[in-house]
Protein backbone atom coordinates (compact mmCIF):
# COMPACT_ATOMS: atom_id res chain seq x y z
CA UNK A 1 0.00 0.00 0.00
CA UNK A 2 1.31 3.46 -0.88
CA UNK A 3 0.17 6.78 0.40
CA UNK A 4 0.60 10.00 -1.59
CA UNK A 5 0.43 13.42 0.05
CA UNK A 6 -2.17 15.32 -2.01
CA UNK A 7 -2.60 18.65 -0.24
CA UNK A 8 -2.84 20.63 2.96
CA UNK A 9 -6.33 21.98 3.64
CA UNK A 10 -6.59 25.51 4.98
CA UNK A 11 -9.85 26.84 6.42
CA UNK A 12 -10.65 30.30 5.08
CA UNK A 13 -13.29 32.99 5.31
CA UNK A 14 -12.44 33.93 1.70
CA UNK A 15 -10.77 30.97 -0.07
CA UNK A 16 -10.22 32.86 -3.31
CA UNK A 17 -8.48 35.86 -1.72
CA UNK A 18 -6.37 33.72 0.61
CA UNK A 19 -5.52 31.25 -2.15
CA UNK A 20 -4.45 34.07 -4.46
CA UNK A 21 -2.27 35.52 -1.69
CA UNK A 22 -0.50 32.20 -1.15
CA UNK A 23 -0.16 31.61 -4.91
CA UNK A 24 1.64 34.94 -5.20
CA UNK A 25 3.71 34.38 -2.06
CA UNK A 26 4.88 30.94 -3.24
CA UNK A 27 4.91 31.51 -7.00
CA UNK A 28 2.50 28.57 -7.42
CA UNK A 29 -0.23 28.02 -10.00
CA UNK A 30 -3.98 27.84 -9.53
CA UNK A 31 -5.50 24.43 -10.34
CA UNK A 32 -9.00 24.93 -8.91
CA UNK A 33 -10.78 28.24 -8.44
CA UNK A 34 -14.33 27.75 -7.22
CA UNK A 35 -15.60 30.32 -4.69
CA UNK A 36 -15.70 27.70 -1.92
CA UNK A 37 -12.51 25.74 -2.71
CA UNK A 38 -9.40 27.27 -4.22
CA UNK A 39 -6.42 25.02 -4.91
CA UNK A 40 -2.82 25.90 -5.75
CA UNK A 41 0.20 23.73 -6.52
CA UNK A 42 3.88 24.23 -7.32
CA UNK A 43 3.07 23.13 -10.90
CA UNK A 44 -0.22 21.85 -12.37
CA UNK A 45 0.73 18.17 -12.02
CA UNK A 46 3.02 18.43 -8.97
CA UNK A 47 1.96 17.63 -5.41
CA UNK A 48 1.40 18.45 -2.65
CA UNK A 49 -0.84 21.45 -3.03
CA UNK A 50 -2.74 23.81 -0.77
CA UNK A 51 -6.54 23.74 -0.79
CA UNK A 52 -8.35 26.72 0.73
CA UNK A 53 -11.89 25.83 1.82
CA UNK A 54 -14.63 28.17 2.99
CA UNK A 55 -15.67 27.80 6.63
CA UNK A 56 -18.14 29.95 8.55
CA UNK A 57 -16.09 30.43 11.71
CA UNK A 58 -13.03 32.63 12.02
CA UNK A 59 -9.62 31.65 13.35
CA UNK A 60 -9.44 32.05 17.12
CA UNK A 61 -6.29 30.30 18.42
CA UNK A 62 -2.73 29.48 17.40
CA UNK A 63 -2.49 26.94 14.58
CA UNK A 64 -1.81 23.35 15.64
CA UNK A 65 -0.01 22.85 12.32
CA UNK A 66 2.02 25.43 10.43
CA UNK A 67 4.26 25.61 7.38
CA UNK A 68 8.00 26.35 7.53
CA UNK A 69 9.85 27.92 4.61
CA UNK A 70 13.63 28.17 4.18
CA UNK A 71 14.62 30.95 1.76
CA UNK A 72 18.10 31.80 0.50
CA UNK A 73 17.84 35.22 2.18
CA UNK A 74 15.60 35.34 5.26
CA UNK A 75 15.55 39.15 5.64
CA UNK A 76 14.69 39.74 1.98
CA UNK A 77 11.96 37.09 2.05
CA UNK A 78 10.40 38.44 5.25
CA UNK A 79 10.38 41.94 3.73
CA UNK A 80 8.76 40.59 0.52
CA UNK A 81 6.07 38.70 2.43
CA UNK A 82 5.32 41.69 4.66
CA UNK A 83 4.95 43.83 1.53
CA UNK A 84 2.42 41.28 0.21
CA UNK A 85 0.34 41.63 3.38
CA UNK A 86 1.80 39.16 5.89
CA UNK A 87 2.12 40.32 9.48
CA UNK A 88 4.65 39.53 12.20
CA UNK A 89 3.32 37.26 14.96
CA UNK A 90 4.27 36.50 18.51
CA UNK A 91 3.14 32.99 19.45
CA UNK A 92 5.43 32.83 22.46
CA UNK A 93 8.46 31.76 20.45
CA UNK A 94 10.85 34.11 22.24
CA UNK A 95 14.16 35.02 20.61
CA UNK A 96 14.67 32.52 17.77
CA UNK A 97 16.55 32.38 14.45
CA UNK A 98 13.24 32.06 12.57
CA UNK A 99 10.54 34.67 11.99
CA UNK A 100 6.88 33.91 12.64
CA UNK A 101 4.45 35.60 10.26
CA UNK A 102 0.74 35.30 9.57
CA UNK A 103 -1.08 35.30 6.26
CA UNK A 104 -3.95 37.78 5.69
CA UNK A 105 -6.39 35.53 7.62
CA UNK A 106 -4.06 35.06 10.59
CA UNK A 107 -2.59 31.61 9.86
CA UNK A 108 0.93 31.36 11.26
CA UNK A 109 3.93 30.23 9.24
CA UNK A 110 7.69 30.46 9.79
CA UNK A 111 10.47 31.86 7.65
CA UNK A 112 13.59 29.98 8.68
CA UNK A 113 17.19 31.12 8.41
CA UNK A 114 19.23 30.58 5.30
CA UNK A 115 20.24 27.00 4.46
CA UNK A 116 23.17 25.63 6.38
CA UNK A 117 22.35 24.39 9.83
CA UNK A 118 19.84 26.89 11.19
CA UNK A 119 17.36 24.96 13.37
CA UNK A 120 13.76 24.71 12.21
CA UNK A 121 10.72 25.94 14.11
Span 22-39, pLDDT tens digits: 999 999 999 999 999 999
Which stretches of 34-113 are assigned E, i.e. beta strand?
Answer: 37-41, 49-54, 67-69, 87-88, 99-102, 108-111
Q: Using 50, 70 and 90 to split pLDDT, how confident is the model at 56? A: very high
Which domains, and CATH codes, for the chain? 1-58 (3.10.180.10), 59-121 (3.10.180.10)
Span 6-20, pLDDT tens digits: 999 999 999 999 999
CA 56/CA 13 separation, integer angstroms: 7
- Spatial contact of 89 and 102, defined as CB atoms under 8 Å apart: yes
CA 89/CA 45 separation, integer angstroms: 33
Antiparallel, parallel or unpaired: β 67-69 and 87-88 = unpaired
- Spatial contact of 108 and 114, defined as CB atoms under 8 Å apart: no
pLDDT of 92 higher than 80: no
Amino acid sequence: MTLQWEQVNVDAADPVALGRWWAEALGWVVVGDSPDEYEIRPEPDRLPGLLFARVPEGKTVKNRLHLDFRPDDQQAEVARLLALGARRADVGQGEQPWVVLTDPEGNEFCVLGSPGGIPSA
